[in-house]
Amino acid sequence: MEEIAKAMPVEKCGFVGKCQSHPSGYASYMSSSYSKPTTARIAAHAMQQLEAARAKDVELHQQNLPALENNKAVRERVIAVMKAVGIPDSWSERDLSSRARFPKNKTVGAGYLADLTKHVVVSDGFESATFTYETLKTRYAEYQATADAEAKRAEQQRAAEAERQKEERRKNLSLVSIILRYGLNEDADWPDVLEALRSKNQRLDLAVAMQQTRGDWSEGPYRVRDALNGFQIETTEDKDIANDVLSCLEDFCDGRVFRDTTWSYDRLFASVEDQQLVADVQMAASNVGA
């Protein structure tokens, strides 16, 4: 009789099964009393652990292949021999454990088949490990995508805050420069600066009032009316300006009229000879919400 090869031991795959079911499960392993890991770090660590476990399962499966092939051959040979000598795979017998009045028969599998299943292993669990790996990788990838999005938002917020701080420093430098340029009180803030600079030129004063009303006319054109009350007619052009702006107050309903009229605030700004003063007034106005 031909000698049958012996069964070979097979080590079960399952490193992936030891990974956390969700990436966030690694957070506790990475935290310390000094620091808490970011979602991005947790996601990267989780994916690293998963891929490392997968690599071990793949390597172990490759090592198991010769034993698996051998054991499949052993099983086939043993089953063939049993069939050759007339031993069936199963048979029927009365179910003596049944409490029925007339017990039915039950099918009993051949004992050697159970022995083969137990002692001649033909599967190392690689298929199950692969399914687990693919399931976890999808879950880990989704977590990674969320982490990337959070990291991007955080970076955008940091960049925006850095720019805000830069802009604030630029405004502070501009405020100091204007205070020094015009010899204003060193404690002056932007509203104080705007008021002081407007008083230096009546056209600027009127232009700012018109521009402010263009931005908000919910309470009517009172700013423009107040500026006109202090507007002195010194030249023919001053008269034209006053008459043009005054006409805008008749049946007033929309602040945009000061943008579109002949002597609009843009034209008034442009008519002032000292353009440095104009620029400083506009800077101050922009910093008080005008």
Residue whose token pair is 């199963």: 90
Q: What is the pLDDT of residue 96?
A: 64
Per-residue pLDDT of the chain (290 residues; tens, 9 = 90+): 456 689 999 999 999 999 999 999 999 888 877 788 888 899 999 999 999 999 999 999 999 999 999 999 999 898 888 888 888 887 676 666 766 666 676 677 777 788 888 889 999 999 999 999 999 999 999 999 999 998 899 889 988 988 888 778 777 888 889 999 999 998 899 999 999 999 999 999 999 999 999 999 999 999 999 999 999 999 999 999 999 999 999 989 999 999 999 999 999 999 999 999 999 999 999 988 65
Residue with tokens 């007033």: 252
Specify the pLDDT at position 81: 86
pLDDT in tens, 93-131: 666 676 666 667 667 777 778 888 888 999 999 999 999
Per the CB < 8 A criterion, the answer to whether 250 and 216 are in contact is no
Q: What is the pLDDT of residue 83?
A: 87
Amino acid 79: pLDDT: 86
pLDDT of 90 reads 75
Q: What is d(CA 248, CA 229) in angstroms, rounded to the nearest whole number?
A: 15
What's the pLDDT at 137? 96
CA distances from 284 to 164, 219, 274 (A): 18, 22, 16
For residue 206, how far is the Cα from the chain centroid?
48
Report the predicted TM-score, pTM, of the whole model to 2 decimal places. 0.55
Query: For every residue of the chain, which 3-state class applies, written as one string?
Result: CCCCCCCCCCCCCCCHHHCCCCHHHHHHHHCCCCCCCCHHHHHHHHHHHHHHHHHHHHHHHHHHHHHHHHHHHHHHHHHHHHHHCCCCCEEEEECCCCCCCCCCEEEEECHHHHHHHHHCCCCCCHHHHHHHHHHHHHHHHHHHHHHHHHHHHHHHHHHHHHHHHHHHHHHHHHHHHHHHHHCCCCCCCHHHHHHHHHCCCHHHHHHHHHHHHHHCCCCCCHHHHHHHHCCCCCCHHHHHHHHHHHHHHCCCCCCCHHHHCCCCHHHHHHHCCCHHHHHHHHHHHHCCCC
Q: Looking at residue 99, what is its pLDDT?
A: 67
Query: Is-contact 133 50, C-beta < 8 A?
Result: yes
Closest CA to 287 of 160, 130, 167, 152: 167
- Please choose, from the candidates 176, 251, 261, 174, the residue with its C-alpha nearest in 3D space to the C-alpha of residue 210: 261
Q: What pLDDT is recorded for position 146?
A: 92
258 neighbors 249 (Cβ within 8 angstroms) = no
Q: What is the pLDDT of residues 220-234, one digit of tens each?
A: 999 999 999 999 999
Question: The dihedral of CA 161, 167, 171, 172: what is its sign?
Answer: positive
pLDDT score at 202: 97
Q: How many CB atoms lie within 10 A of CB 249?
A: 15
Q: Give the model's pLDDT for residue 145.
A: 94
